[in-house]
Structures are given as structure tokens and as C-alpha cells.
Amino acid sequence: MGILVLLVWLGCWQAPQTTQAAEKTYVIGTDVTYAPFEFADKNNKYIGIDIDLMNAVAKAEGFKVQIKPLGFNAAVQALEARQIDGVIAGMTITPERQAKLAMSDPYYKSGASMAVSAKNKSIKSLADLRGKRVALKTGTAAADYALRLKKKYGFTTVTFDDSNNMYDDVRTGNSDACFDDLPVLQYAIATGLDLKIIGKPGKTGSYGFATNKDNPDHLDQKFNAGLKKVRASGEYKKIVAKYLGNGSAADQKAKNAAVQENDRSFIGLLKANWGTLMGGLQETLIVTLIAIILRQLSG
């Protein structure tokens, strides 16, 4: 103990230093319902291409992220108000956004498509939209694409803050059609949404990660560097394949068919008819119980 005091007094001893600085955590805003890019699983955990990619980039560049599901518009507004550090939410890179925000290199190429109810037989092309009502998701490239066509094809529009409400408006017949990015529609339809895609997709551009231009940590550059590493390692392809297979709906359709086939198995039939079975069992138990009581009373 005396030697330690002496070393401190002489200035020859320093407290042990940590070998690695703590990783910085960035708050990243995202959408709430934009499968397969971001959506909540059955445990209310957010997953999807954007979420997995953001985590992979963060790991490659040595920082951490806190994913904050806010909704598309709210996430962009929170970024501009500097309440969060970045946004990854299927955001198309546009000159307007590049003028306000620092956009990363493109990480996914997309296009906008029109969808109608699976039962709709009257709408076969854009020309059939005249006089019809079209549902759009606020602030998206697909909505911008539809608005550019609005005057030419003579339809009216209604806007929603999330994809699920937009789809429901078409499913229930309140709107005749909707526009969304092709992979999003493919995934939703392949996993059970009763809509169908009409026509070929229109070009809308590519997705990018967004942050503020003057962010001191140059988070956009960190994202670009991490994206290159994730692509080079093959992890990027694995992430996309996990949700989209070969880039179309084929893989999801196969998985969906497998689920349906499983539902035809004994367990699937049991699950499907559980309510009926339990109802019948309840009636049988009641009848048996009454018979026992009457027997006891008569005895």
C-alpha cells in the first residue's frame, strides 16, 4: 500500500484505462407497417429488410442503434426536428429529399404498382380508374407517382398514414385501388392479403438511409461504409432473401402454401375446428352432469 501511495505521489502510476470506448447508440426512426421492410412480428418485435440491414451496418461499423417505430411521416419530421439521428423506412431517394437531408447510397431498387381487390373484375388498367377513388399512403414515392397520373386518368385520392389502413380501405370497397411499392405489395399478397396487382410497376427510384446534413458524426458516411461491407460479405443478399426470396413473391408464395398444407394436417384440422369440438364437449359434459344429478335424486 505504501509503494502505491509513493507511485501516485511521484506521478508514475495511472489507473487502468478501458481498452475500448463504449459504442455510441443512434436512435433510428422507421415506419410501423411496411412489410417486408419493417413490421412487428407476433412478439411485437420489429423485423424486416430495413431493420436487419440497419443492425448489420451498425455491427460492421462498430456502433449501436435503437429502432424507434414512429410511422413514415412522423419519423421524417422527428429527424428534421433533431429528435432522432436517422431514418430507414423504405425512403426513396429524391432530389427534394437530397436538398433537405443527407441521403445514403441506394440500398434497394423499387417501383410503384397499383393493386385492387382480388374480387375486382372491372379494373384492368390505369384507364379504368376514371371516376374512381384511389387510396394512397402519405409521403411515399408511390403516392407521388399516383398523383402524377391523377389528372391524366381522372381519379380522386384519399390518404392514409400507414399501409394496413390503406389496404383495408380497398378490401372493404371504400376505395377502388391503391398504389404501393412493388415488393411491399408482393409480400402482403403472398402472405394472405386479398388484393391483386394490376399492370407493370412505374419507376420510382431506390431506397436510401437519411440523416441530417450537418450531423457531426457523418452518420450517412458510416452507413455507406457499412453497406459496402455488408454487400461484400454476402450478408445483404441473405437479408433480402430472408424476406423476399429471389426478389419476387415466389418464395413467399411457397412458404404460404406450406403453411396452408400444414393447416390441412391433423394439428391444423384440430386448430381449425377447436371451437366446434369444445362446444360439443361442453354440451356432452352438461348432459352427463344432469344425468348424474337426476340419478342421485331418484336414488
Average pLDDT of the residues in 230-242: 96
Q: What is the pLDDT of residue 250?
A: 52
Instruction: Let me know: does 28 contact 67? Beta carbons within 8 Å.
Output: yes
End position of a domain, from candidates 218, 235, 250: 250
Confidence of residue 253 (pLDDT cuts 50, 70, 90): low
pLDDT of residue 284: 54
Q: Read off the pLDDT band of 115 (50, 70, 90).
A: very high
Same domain, 48 and 193: no
Residue 20 phi/psi, 5-degree rounding, is: -140, 130
Hey, what's the cell of 88?
430507414
Q: Are strands 39-40 and 25-30 parallel, antiparallel or unpaired?
A: unpaired
Instruction: State what percent of residues in the chain have pLDDT above 70.
Output: 75
Q: What is the pLDDT of residues 152-180, one digit of tens each?
A: 999 999 999 989 999 999 999 999 999 99
pLDDT of residue 255: 46
- Domain extent at residue 29: 22-107+208-250
Residue 116 reports pLDDT greater than 60: yes
CATH number, position 126: 3.40.190.10
41 and 179 inside one domain: no
Residue linked to cell 508514475: 12
203: confidence class by pLDDT, cuts 50, 70, 90: confident
Confidence at 269, pLDDT banded by 50, 70, 90: very low
* φ and ψ at residue 205, rounded to 5 degrees: 120, -155
Query: Mean pLDDT over residues 20-31, rounded?
Result: 84
Say if strands 64-69 and 210-212 run parallel, antiparallel, or are unpaired. unpaired
Q: Are residues 97 and 126 in the same domain?
A: no
- Our count of domains for the chain comes to 2
The whole-number average pLDDT for the span 97-112 is: 95
Residues 162 and 219 in one domain: no
What pLDDT sits at residue 283? 53
Asked whether residue 49 is domain-assigned, the answer is: yes
Is it the case that residue 213 has pLDDT exceeding 80? Answer: yes
Checking if the pLDDT of 273 tops 50, the result is no
pLDDT of residue 282: 55
**Do 66 and 192 belong to one domain?**
no
pLDDT digits (tens, 9 = 90+) for 56-98: 999 999 999 999 999 999 999 999 999 999 999 999 999 999 9
Task: For the chain, give the mean pLDDT.
Answer: 83
